[in-house]
Structure 1
């Protein structure tokens, strides 16, 4: 004889249904948590606080951004690479990045793989859009292809260091009360970030024209700033540049801006370059990526300053 009693009352069924729904919700939450951990943009051994701090300030991205300037400076002093050959080499990398993004847009599996390894260098908006590295490379290529070699190198240093300084200072001291008017400036640009870009641009230009410019390559048309010849910058490390390129890139020589042969004082030139850097970093140009606009606008602006006022 069995003493088991099966309770089929409505209240028991409601309890079973509620328990089932609760378990299903827990299962979904656990699944989402595991998926989130799998897609994390930083190595899993980072503490939660350190990871949040790093993501908030985009530390890996800024380190990469800043390191490009030091690599450029090293190549400027040590290498004999011509700007045309370097542009061709960067163009190949740009094509590879474009191909990777196109594949990422079409393949969910590849997108997951890509973001798992490189997502810590990407902003959330870039995960559903073009990678900022592409615009970075295109801006550098345009600068190298159209400007005298020393000005193009300075524009890359500005892209690397001024943009980072503006971002950090803007986050630290920028607020709704000191936003720059939009337009003509880009949204979320602050006066603090603008001043940070101005100071960093001035210091970078002072260091480049006063020291580093005389340690690198000299083009066939000479230096852009004639203060070097007056002893304001060391000449013992300079090397001649004879720009040789394949015939398919001969057009680039035609559109390359001529050497400005500026005689501005170092102080005036540095402050002028700093102002141009800050404006280039802050202006909104048709909503284009600042990695594309900053080296082009700053490089062309510095060339115009040296040409018109030199």
Structure 2
């Protein structure tokens, strides 16, 4: 009986270690943000309704972040509460990625039109997630590109970026266009010299590069760099 209990405990411990090693809770949260974003979009939510909520979330989280590194007791309590959603480096000194996540979305939502803002969330949630997942699983079989980033991960981000752009502009934007103002949608087939296919491939390249060379943190750089680069590209590709 004792051996059975020990074996069960061992299996449970291995399962918990596997979940933590592969950052499963964090990835589930990461990917769910895109689902929430699409839900808000199809129900007519506008950016000016979301941005204040993001700011209201960022302020207390950033405040706790400042104080937790000054207090070992607070840091331990913080890790016990949200530790499964954190990277190991964030438990020992790195800034919590949630702060960069919120900051990146606030910047994008405050500057760019709705289509680029929502697309940047999709890219951050799913293209980054696909790069991490595929990179961990198959990166060892492909060349390493930059600071632990693999060709497998970058290719996954590229393919996911194409698919997400096609899904966003091919289905969601036209299907719920009644919620969009004219200035909300920067890319259309009529206004741009880029076809949906060429634009989707462009987005794939942009997000793969943004994920490969993160500025500060990939949770910040992927939405901000992607939205900025795509805005510049779309301005240059406008029909006269």
TM-score of the superposed pair, with normalisation by structure 1: 0.69
Which residue among 273, 280, 285 is the counterpart of 2:203?
273
Q: Is the 8 A contact 2:130 2:153 kept in 1?
A: yes
Q: Is the 8 A contact 1:280 1:297 kept in 2?
A: yes
**Offset, 1:263:** 4.3
Aligned to 1:79: 44
Aligned to 1:308: 236
Q: Is the 8 A contact 1:174 1:190 kept in 2?
A: yes
Q: Is the 8 A contact 1:65 1:160 kept in 2?
A: yes
Matches of 1:284 and 1:151 in 2, distance apart? 19
Q: Is the 8 A contact 2:142 2:151 kept in 1?
A: no
Aligned to 1:218: 180
Which structure has the larger Rg? 1
Aligned to 1:138: 103
| Matched residue SS, 1:106 | coil
What are the equivalent positions in structure 2 for 1:69-218 lying under 5 Å apart?
Answer: 69-81=34-46, 83-127=47-91, 128-175=93-140, 178-180=143-145, 182=146, 187-214=147-174, 215=176, 217-218=179-180
The answer to which of 212-221 and 112-121 deviates more is: 212-221
* RMSD, aligned α-carbons: 2.0
1:295 and 2:201 aligned:
no
**Offset, 1:299:** 0.9
Structure 1 unaligned regions, length at least 5: 1-43, 230-260
Aligned to 2:18: 53
Matches of 1:136 and 1:102 in 2, distance apart? 17
Q: Is the 8 A contact 1:206 1:266 kept in 2?
A: yes
The answer to which of 100-109 and 130-139 deviates more is: 100-109
Q: Is the 8 A contact 2:142 2:152 kept in 1?
A: no
TM-score of the superposed pair, with normalisation by structure 2: 0.88
Q: Is the 8 A contact 1:149 1:219 kept in 2?
A: no
Aligned to 1:238: none
Structure 2 unaligned regions, length at least 5: 1-8
